[in-house]
Amino acid sequence: MSAGNNWVALTTIWIKECTRFLRIWVQTLVPPAITMSLYFVIFGNLIGQRIGDMGGFSYMEFIVPGLIMMSVITNSYANVSSSFFSAKFQRNLEEMLVAPVPTWVIILGYIGGGVARAMLIGLIVSVVSMLFVDVSIHSLPVIVITLLLTATLFATAGLVNGIFAKTFDDISLIPTFVLTPLTYLGGVFYSLSLLPEFWQWVSKANPIVYMVNGFRYGFLGVSDVNIGAAMGVLVVFNIALFTVAYTLLKRGTGIRT
């Protein structure tokens, strides 16, 4: 296919993915706003008053970047994993596979839909957070880059999950048993400096720690990890997961029988 045809195919898949979650916005966009509001009220106002300052910032200010990142992670992953598996289940994925559309175009189309939903959710949660605390910005480029790389990473991970999933239950296993624990242990609600030295090193094996801290640096200018290392981890994981997704889809893993 020519570059022009590839672009048409890419935008078509992307628009289809965006239309999918916007059509049911009450289910896809409203719940994260409500959930994050509860986090702000319970953890920020009630518990945060007893915790006090965290690294020179109020507890509410400290947890805002982590809560935004948590919503971005879960929604980018869920959007692509459910959409791709639905296409498999309804047997319409074959239409794209038999069409003269490169594999990378299909992958980027699905990832683009997940990233779009994650960015929109991130914006909504950011607006909600402004109702509870004055949000400051230390480095807008770091915020944007971290947000895009994280959303892309978990959208790709959701695609891999969708490729392997055989039932609708399979697409909820990873978020429940892997993403949720890693997110809560990723420094969203606490600083790694509060942990004993051994557990600080153990925590640094959790990739979400780098995403949360990179995002927090963009807002507050503080981080428990080197910001260069955080960006490096995101880039490496994105390349690795894209390669895995490309290889699996090219082979027809989980699709061809």
pLDDT at 141 over 90: yes
pLDDT tens-place string over residues 59-70 = 888 989 999 999
Q: What is the pLDDT of residue 172?
A: 85
pLDDT tens-place string over residues 105-125 = 999 999 999 999 999 999 999
pLDDT band at 162 (very low <50, low <70, confident <90, very high): very high
Quote the pTM value: 0.92
pLDDT band at 1 (very low <50, low <70, confident <90, very high): low
Find residue 54's DSSP bridge partners: 57
- Among 26-30, 70-74, 104-108, 132-136, the minimum mean pLDDT is found in 132-136
pLDDT tens-place string over residues 165-217 = 888 888 888 888 888 889 888 988 888 888 888 888 989 899 999 999 999 99
Over residues 23-44, the mean pLDDT reads 86
pLDDT band at 138 (very low <50, low <70, confident <90, very high): very high
pLDDT band at 57 (very low <50, low <70, confident <90, very high): confident
pLDDT band at 256 (very low <50, low <70, confident <90, very high): low
**Domain ranges within the chain, ordered by starting residue:** 3-251
pLDDT at 257 over 60: no
